[in-house]
């Protein structure tokens, strides 16, 4: 097995609807094409296009949402996405998704999220721990679980982040936080702010984000995907648990970020594909890594950008001249930035320690 695949990994920035397999997306689009809901040949071209600007990515998401927003489909894609991450040895996955309301098919934000949880339960290729025993101390301490009948299955820890879309109002954002609080026993550990970065105002989301934090939820923010110094500074002052991207920072913002020690979710392929960063040799990964700022590698949207977490590690290794030992350490360090509790952190530490003994 490829070394990058066999290495255990922690994925903390993956959007559910961005991580759908292309084959599934095409199959679902084909079905809608037959029903006459969409024109399949137009859609096929959009799905298979490789390079997309940030603006085109958000157009694609609108299309994906038309194709996928149905309870059964949400359950199916959740199941497949978790299986895909587990297959490449992601041992802890924080999966984020925007709870969606669609009155015409009887979907509420809650029923959307229930369909996601159903997807976690439906996974059969691997054991999924999504937090039901966080309240006890009896977590299983290996990446392999014993089913009690002598057969063993791989195990993946999955926790959920509920995303607030930048198109939403304060009230809608607050609803998402309320829902997250009600679903904590089902593995929801935090809130993400995402969506088209050219839309919406920080002040709109702030009350919901403050409320989330007061109630004990962790918060991660998409920050600096477009130049917006005022918003970047406000976001850093908020001191979120993590930020994603950090592409369009100026000198002042870099120093503020570095003194804050806020971990940065780095999505290399996503940044390159959307041309938020012109080429990998000028990517801020290198500077943050060299200055020992907390960073972690993530996929963002493995389906939309045709990548995998193993590919991201391989790309970082070849682009920045880092060896396997350094990359293993980078993957292990991500344990410190997860939003799940210390019981899970301890289990992950053991999984990495055991892998360190077995990997050459």
Distances (CA, A) of 168 to 71, 98, 222: 21, 11, 15
Could you say which residues in the range 253-272 bind ligand 5GP, by CB under 6 A? 270
118 catalytic? Reply is no
- Contact letters for ligand 5GP, residues 213-242 (x by CB under 6 A): ---------x--x-----------------
Spatial CB neighbours of 294, under 8 Å, sequence gap ≥ 6: 261, 262, 263, 264, 333, 336, 337
Q: Please, what is the minimum distance in Å from the beta carbon of residue 287 to ligand 5GP? A: 21
Q: Is 18 in the site for ligand 5GP (CB under 6 A)?
A: yes
Dist CA 48 CA 217 (whole Å): 37
163, 190 Cβ separation under 8 angstroms: no
The one segment of 16-24, 31-39, 319-327, 336-344 that binds ligand 5GP by CB under 6 A: 16-24
Phi first, then psi: give them for residue 286, nearest 5 degrees. Answer: -60, -50
Q: Is 17 in the site for ligand 5GP (CB under 6 A)?
A: yes
If binding means CB under 6 A, how many residues of this protein chain bind ligand 5GP? Answer: 17
- Contact letters for ligand 5GP, residues 47-66 (x by CB under 6 A): --------------x-----
User: Which ranges of the chain would DSSP assign to H, the alpha helix?
Assistant: 3-6, 22-35, 40-48, 54-68, 71-87, 109-122, 170-182, 202-214, 229-238, 251-260, 268-273, 285-290, 309-320, 324-333, 342-358
Q: Is 134 in the site for ligand 5GP (CB under 6 A)?
A: no
Dist CA 96 CA 312 (whole Å): 19
Q: Please, what is the minimum distance in Å from the beta carbon of residue 243 to ligand 5GP? A: 11
**Binding residue for ligand 5GP (CB under 6 A) from 33, 119, 187, 195?**
195
Dist CA 350 CA 181 (whole Å): 29
Q: In this structure, what DSSP letter does residue 153 have?
A: E
**Binding residue for ligand 5GP (CB under 6 A) from 79, 83, 84, 300?**
300
Q: Please, what is the minimum distance in Å from the beta carbon of residue 2 to ligand 5GP? A: 26
Binding residues for ligand 5GP, rule: CB under 6 A, are 15-18, 61, 97-98, 163, 165, 194-195, 197, 222, 225, 270, 300-301
């Amino acid at each position: 097995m490829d070394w990058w695949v066999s290495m255990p990994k922690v994925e903390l920035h993956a959007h559910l609807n961005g991580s759908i397999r292309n084959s599934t997306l095409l199959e679902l689009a084909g079905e809608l094409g037959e029903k006459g809901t969409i024109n399949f040949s137009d859609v096929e071209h959009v799905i298979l296009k490789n390079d997309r600007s940030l603006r085109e990515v958000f157009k694609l998401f609108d299309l994906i949402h038309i194709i996928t927003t149905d309870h059964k489909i949400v359950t199916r894609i959740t199941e497949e996405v978790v299986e895909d991450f587990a297959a490449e040895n992601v041992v802890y996955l924080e999966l984020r998704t925007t709870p969606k309301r669609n009155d015409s098919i009887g979907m509420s934000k809650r029923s959307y999220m229930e369909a996601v949880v159903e997807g976690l339960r439906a996974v059969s290729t691997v054991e999924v721990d999504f937090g039901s025993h966080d309240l006890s101390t009896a977590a299983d301490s290996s990446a392999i679980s014993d089913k009690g009948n002598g057969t063993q299955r791989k195990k993946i820890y999955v926790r959920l982040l509920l995303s607030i879309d930048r198109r939403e109002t304060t009230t809608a954002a607050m609803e998402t936080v309320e829902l997250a609080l009600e679903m904590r026993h089902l593995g929801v550990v935090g809130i993400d702010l995402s969506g088209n970065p050219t839309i919406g105002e920080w002040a709109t989301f702030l009350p919901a984000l403050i409320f989330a934090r007061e109630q004990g939820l962790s918060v991660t923010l998409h920050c600096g995907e477009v130049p917006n110094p005022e918003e970047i500074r406000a976001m850093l002052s908020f001191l979120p648990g993590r930020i994603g991207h950090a592409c369009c920072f100026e000198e002042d913002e870099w120093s503020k970020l570095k003194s804050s020690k806020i971990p940065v979710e780095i999505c290399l392929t996503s940044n390159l594909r959307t041309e938020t960063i012109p080429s990998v040799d000028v990517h801020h990964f290198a500077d943050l890594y060299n200055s020992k700022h907390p960073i972690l590698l993530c996929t963002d949207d493995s389906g939309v950008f045709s990548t995998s977490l193993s590919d991201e590690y391989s790309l970082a290794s070849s682009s920045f001249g880092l060896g396997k030992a350094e990359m293993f350490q980078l993957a292990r360090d991500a344990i410190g930035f997860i939003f799940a509790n210390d019981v899970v952190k301890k289990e992950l530490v053991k999984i990495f320690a055991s892998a360190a003994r077995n990997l050459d």
